[in-house]
Amino acid sequence: MTERWIAPAIAACLALASPGWAAAQAPAEAAAVRAPRVAVTKHEGVFNGEKVKFTATVAEVFLNDAAGRPAAAATTIAYVRNGVKDPGARPVIFLFNGGPGASSSPLHMSALGPYRRGPAPPGDRSGGGWIPNTVSPLDAADLVFIDPVGTGFSRPFPGTNPQRFYSVSGDAQAVKTVIATWLKANRRETSPRFLMGESYGTTRAANIARISQDLPFDGVMLVALSGEVSGREMPYVVALPTMAAGAWYHQKIDRAGRSVDQVFAEALDFARTDYLEALVEGGSLPAEKKRRIAERMSGLIGLPADLIVEKDLRLSKNDWMFNILKDRTLRTGLLDVTVTAPLEPGQDGAIDDPALGVVPKRAPGAPAAPPPSPAALGAIPSPAVGRYMIEALKYPAGDEPYYGVNFAVNAAWDYERPRTPGGATGPSAFEALGQAMRANPKLRLFWAAGYYDLTTPAYSGRYTLDQAGVPAGQLTAAYFAGPHGVYDHDENRARFAESVKAFVTKKP
């Protein structure tokens, strides 16, 4: 592995202006802040059995405030295959995670990047190292990971108000600017291009597609779709199949030789038919029918029928998480229902999710305390990813930490809804995506979901896409026996990467 530093004149091209929110370009203003940081290293690896030489480039894009002054730097981590005869014909994927306030590190260092996090040696408290990710799709497509402002090494500049970047529309416009800047700086405007977002990143991807008539994409990839499910019935309906998958995993139901796929499918059919009908009947539902429905639910999701009747058939996520393993004084995770932790008083079910791992375990005998707020948690560093960026990719971060997730950004987020010119509420991001796909039959959508994800349940994602009118013929759906990060196990990682590769290389 070798390295070189790009000259300031070349680095400046990474801050070219683009439509919408322009990247910073005025030399005097940019100099008043500092020059964009850029590092380039050469690498070689074997991916999917093919030897690949590639260049890794970590670079900042400066983003302006409303007055045209540099207000923040967003960082891209790009991996580009060397020696490609026609780069303009090679696919490029732009990837980000969600939060809001999450860096791209899960997709980058656990799923698709050329290196992934490896186990820490005994006694090593640095968070571990990194190892080759032999299933990365880098043999077939270039990868550009984006850390939005406030995450990773991306920061607002001192003295600026970052709220501009912490909203649905502002965030989408900023990330779109980063993408347009990268394409222009690297002369890749003709390349087939794809968006990939995970969790809230699915909403970001849909919103970028909404505002990108001047920057069209060939495909959008959504992982753990953050669905928009409301009403008196559907929030319970979409969660029930995931509860059934969790009960299957923890052996709280009779498996009867069934796989998790079969149990999920059976619960989905029940949820969309008899269960939905019972919820719609509401107070008109006869007591004997309610009992029959509760008994059927009990056999699927593992909770006592009496509790289900007591809850009027409407079980919250906490109802399931806090009761399914209550006999063992355990609760499950939310992002991953296969993860467990002690069941304690005062748990809220979300910020103290053991699968999230940001709230320290309570010491034995310590009094119960309410979980901290996102704002109180603030930015959570990821030392292992920071070390990788600095040591392997030679990024000049100095003593700045790499923020894996920033809960202060999450707490400040403005979940605005788009408005029409007349002031009415416009279509949601996914409704707009459905409209765009119906208008453009060549625009394709990939969606991946995990059976064990109760944060964004699998059927919640499918229901959202169906109600948005996404044409079935343009949708590729992939289900995994996995959590929110569907790629978190070796077998799933390989199948996920293979699915992504197949999607971006499919001929129109």
> What number of other Cβ atoms are within 10 A of residue 3's Cβ?
12
pLDDT at 423 over 70: no
pLDDT at position 23 over 70:
no
pLDDT more than 70, % of the chain: 90
Q: How confident is the model at residue 19 (pLDDT cuts 50, 70, 90)?
A: very low
More confident residue, 13 or 446: 446
3-state secondary structure (DSSP) of residue 404: strand
Lowest-confidence region among 22-31, 236-245, 444-453: 22-31
Residue 110's alpha-carbon distances to 104, 117, 199, in angstroms, are 10, 6, 15
Identity of residue 346: G
What's the whole-number mean pLDDT along residues 102-127?
86
Q: Rounded to whole angstroms, how far apart are CA atoms 97 and 115?
A: 17
Residue 455 has pLDDT above 60, yes or no: yes
State yes or no: pLDDT of 44 exceeds 80: yes
Tokens encoding 501? 């590769």
Residues 6+ apart with CB under 8 A from 159: none
User: With contact defined as beta carbons under 8 Å apart, do 467 and 436 qualify?
Assistant: no
What would the mean pLDDT of 74-78 be, rounded to a whole number? 98
Residues 476 and 194: their CA atoms lie apart, in Å, by: 14
Q: Which of 195, 222, 208 is nearest to 94 (CA)?
A: 195
**C-alpha span between 138 and 111 (Å, rounded):** 12
| pLDDT over 60 (residue 16) | no
Q: What is the mean pLDDT of residues 367-372?
A: 77
Establish whether the linkage from the previous residue to 119 is cis, with ω within 30° of 0.
Answer: no
pLDDT at position 424 is 61
Of 321, 367, 469, 356, nearest in space to 101 by CA: 356
428-446: per-residue pLDDT in tens?
Answer: 899 999 999 999 999 999 9
- What is the arithmetic mean of pLDDT over 70-83? 96
Phi and psi for 100 in degrees, rounded to 5? -55, 150
Local structure of 33: helix, strand or coil: helix
Cβ-contact 358, 343 below 8 angstroms: no
b/e burial code for range 362-396 (CB count within 10 A of at least 16 → b): eeeeeeeeebeebeebebbebebbbbbbbebbbbe
Higher pLDDT, 23 or 259: 259
Looking at residue 29, what is its pLDDT? Answer: 47
pLDDT band at 33 (very low <50, low <70, confident <90, very high): low
Count other Cβ atoms within 10 Å, centred on residue 251.
9
Residue with tokens 């995450």: 151
The whole-number pLDDT of residue 28 equals: 38
**How large is the average pLDDT for residues 168-196?**
96
Strands (E), 89-205: 92-96, 115-117, 130-132, 142-147, 155-156, 193-198
Beta pairing, strands 130-132 & 38-47 = unpaired
Given this model, what pLDDT does residue 25 score? 43
pLDDT of residue 1: 37
Residues 406-411, mean pLDDT to the nearest whole number: 95
Instruction: Count other Cβ atoms within 10 Å, centred on residue 229.
Output: 19
Model confidence band, residue 420 (pLDDT cutoffs 50, 70, 90): low
**So what's the pLDDT on residue 67?**
83
CA distance 253 to 27: 66
Decide if pLDDT at 139 tops 90: yes
pLDDT in tens, 326-337: 999 999 999 999
Cα Rg, the chain, nearest whole Å: 23
DSSP string, 332-382: E-SS-TT-EEE--TT--SSTT-TTT--SPPPPTTPPP-PPPPHHHH-EEE-
User: Is the pTM higher than 0.85?
Assistant: yes
Q: Taking the CB of residue 335, how many other CB atoms lie within 10 A of it? A: 23
User: Which residue, chain included where needed, has tokens 């580009």?
Assistant: 80
Average model confidence (pLDDT) for the chain?
90
One-letter amino acid of 322: F
Mean predicted confidence (pLDDT) in 479-503: 96
Q: How many angstroms separate the CA atoms of 245 and 266, rounded?
A: 10
Which DSSP symbol is given to 159? T
Q: How far apart are CA 315 and CA 300, in angstroms?
A: 13
- Residue 383 pairs in a beta bridge with none
Task: Say yes or no to pLDDT of 26 above 70.
Answer: no
Report which of 166, 167, 168 is spatially closest to residue 429, judged by C-alpha positions: 168
**335 or 128: which carries more pLDDT confidence?**
335
Predicted local confidence at residue 215, as pLDDT:
92
CA distance 269 to 236: 14
**pLDDT value at residue 4:** 28
Which pLDDT band, with edges at 50, 70 and 90, does 286 fall under?
very high
Q: Which of 229-243, 244-258, 351-365, 370-384 has the lowest mean pLDDT?
A: 351-365
User: Does the pLDDT value for residue 498 go beyond 60?
Assistant: yes
Q: Which residues contact 439 (CB under 8 A, 6 or more apart)?
A: none
Residues in the chain: 508
Residue 32 to residue 323: CA distance in whole angstroms: 57
Specify the pLDDT at position 373.
85
Region 387-399 average pLDDT: 94
Flag whether pLDDT at 22 surpasses 70.
no
Residue 248: the pLDDT is 98
Inform me whether the pLDDT recorded for 415 exceeds 80: yes
What integer pLDDT is reported at residue 291 of this predicted model? Answer: 98
